[in-house]
Amino acid sequence: MSISSAISNAVSGLTAASRGTEIVSSNIANALTPGYARRELDLSARLSQHGGGVSIAGVNRILTAGLVADSRLAEAAVGSSQTTATFHTAMEKALGTGTEASSLGQSLTDFESALVSAASRPDSETRLSGVVDTAIALAKKINDISATIQAERTKAEQAIKNDVSRLNTALQQVAKLNTQIVTISAQGKDASSLIDARQAAIDSISDILPIKEVPRENGRVALFTPDGAILLDGTEPAKIEFSAAASITAEMSIANGALSDLTLNGKPLTGIQQSMLSGGSLSANFAIRDQIAPDYQQQIDAFASDLYDRLSDPAIDPSLGSGSPGLFTDSQGALDPANEAGFASRIAVNFLASPDTGGQLWRVRAGINAPGPGNAGESALLDRLSMAISAPRPPASANLSSTPRSLQSLSAELSSATATKRIRSEASALQGSSHRTGLKSALLAEGVDSDKEMESLLALERAYAANAKVFQAANDMLDAILRLT
């Protein structure tokens, strides 16, 4: 081997060792950086007229694409299940459970107990006042449950708006990085850092909807949903838009045009197209706004309607005319069965029976529309009101099954169903979270191992020293030759 060949080989070795040290340093420095993939130097033997040596073929990102894809799908599943679980938890808290003082069932029990107590002493204004007070508390509890449902729908509406904004921003970022990666790669430079940034951008929206990444030419990627919706395939990403309502009431829905749906590139999505974006927090929030929460509203409206109907029956209170409100009213009017939607937010105690609104307590004993207080010792109406609450009968609302049951049984069913939904949704969220954790652990196992990186660094130092010695030996030989001349 000639001296020039030895020098060339040593220089290539020094260059490779220097580049390898730089990569190891980058790996260690970015061990905790989201989206960073460990680098390895790709070396190959160099064969040229100057002899052997080593050639740097490039830098490889060590990452299993299948694991990344599965991790993103798991993230979307967790985004969906956790969103749903959080909603059911809020609803369980609103309805209350068991004998909690703030529960719907306990409020109803307090009202029943007040009726029984007043029936034993119908002449006592204190006990009559207890009936009115617990009735007001029961109506307020029903109002509060309805308000919680609509607050959760509004919360879902704003979450959709935020998800759409994040999605559009990330898609624009990925499209921009695609262009930069193509440019850098065409110049023969390492685009790994840009690829890391692109991966982080895609990962940041994987909880919103499931994303499938497809490689394209020159290092670009295209993004689709598993059901085929095109998010990015080219230089311009899809533009998703959404017009959020400031607040939502029980009467607002997609069907009556009061709420908006998504648009894609300026065109409204059909039901089938909307389903292509399902699987993450975006679709979960739409389900809460348009299906799950309205179902809760329908049930609490039906409960309120049954409560109203039981106590406005002329057979219970003979002072009432047909269709007149009893102790409970629809905003001080009669309830129209065709206008049951949102009734839980409007149910209120009749002003005629509440001293705070100019009414008289004796109307609870004598009748809401009675002309006078009557016999102070008469308890028949109070007994009938109590029996109306506890008597098994088919619910007045068509939105509940016709199985006869007491109002207390109905409230227990509502609370039990809510708790069951919360438990199931939390179990689903826990299962999804465990799956996601397992995939993340597998990805971390492919990540930077500081011990191995230090071993690589020591090996590179030895390689650098060996090549430096070759270079020094060649230098000494040239010096010796020059001295001979």
The confidence score (pLDDT) of residue 112 equals 96
This prediction's pTM: 0.86
CB 301 within 8 A of CB 343: yes
Domain boundaries, the chain: 3-63+446-484, 69-435
If pLDDT is split at 50, 70 and 90, which confidence band does 1 have? low
Please give the residue that has the higher pLDDT: either 460 or 83.
83
Taking phi over 0 as left and psi of -120 to 50 as alpha, with beta for the rest, 360 belongs to: beta
Q: Give yes or no for residue 464 having a pLDDT over 70.
A: yes
Tokens 């209170």: give the residue: 317
Per-residue model confidence as pLDDT tens digits over 120-154: 999 999 999 999 999 999 999 999 999 999 999 99
Q: Give yes or no for residue 18 having a pLDDT over 80.
A: yes
If pLDDT is split at 50, 70 and 90, which confidence band does 387 have? very high
HSE-up (13 A, CA, CB side) for residue 262: 27
Per-residue model confidence as pLDDT tens digits over 402-437: 889 999 999 999 999 999 999 999 999 999 999 998
Q: Rounded mean pLDDT of the chain?
A: 90
For the chain, what is the largest distance between any 2 Cα atoms, rounded to a whole number of angstroms? Answer: 139
Per-residue model confidence as pLDDT tens digits over 109-124: 999 999 999 999 999 9
- Beta strands of 301-364 (E only): which ranges? 328-330, 347-349
CA dihedral 427, 101, 409, 138 (to 10 degrees): -120
H or E segment to which residue 428 belongs: helix 407-445
Taking phi over 0 as left and psi of -120 to 50 as alpha, with beta for the rest, 214 belongs to: beta
Per-residue model confidence as pLDDT tens digits over 305-332: 999 999 999 999 999 998 899 999 999 9
Q: Which residues contact 433 (CB under 8 A, 6 or more apart)?
A: 78, 82
Q: Give yes or no for residue 48 having a pLDDT over 70.
A: no
H or E segment to which residue 62 belongs: strand 54-62
- Beta strands of 138-276 (E only): which ranges? 212-215, 221-224, 230-232, 240-241, 263-264, 267-268
Phi and psi torsions of 191, nearest 5°: -100, 15
CB 326 within 8 A of CB 308: yes
Helix (H, G, I), strand (E, B) or coil at 348: strand
Tokens of 377: 């010792």
If pLDDT is split at 50, 70 and 90, which confidence band does 373 have? very high
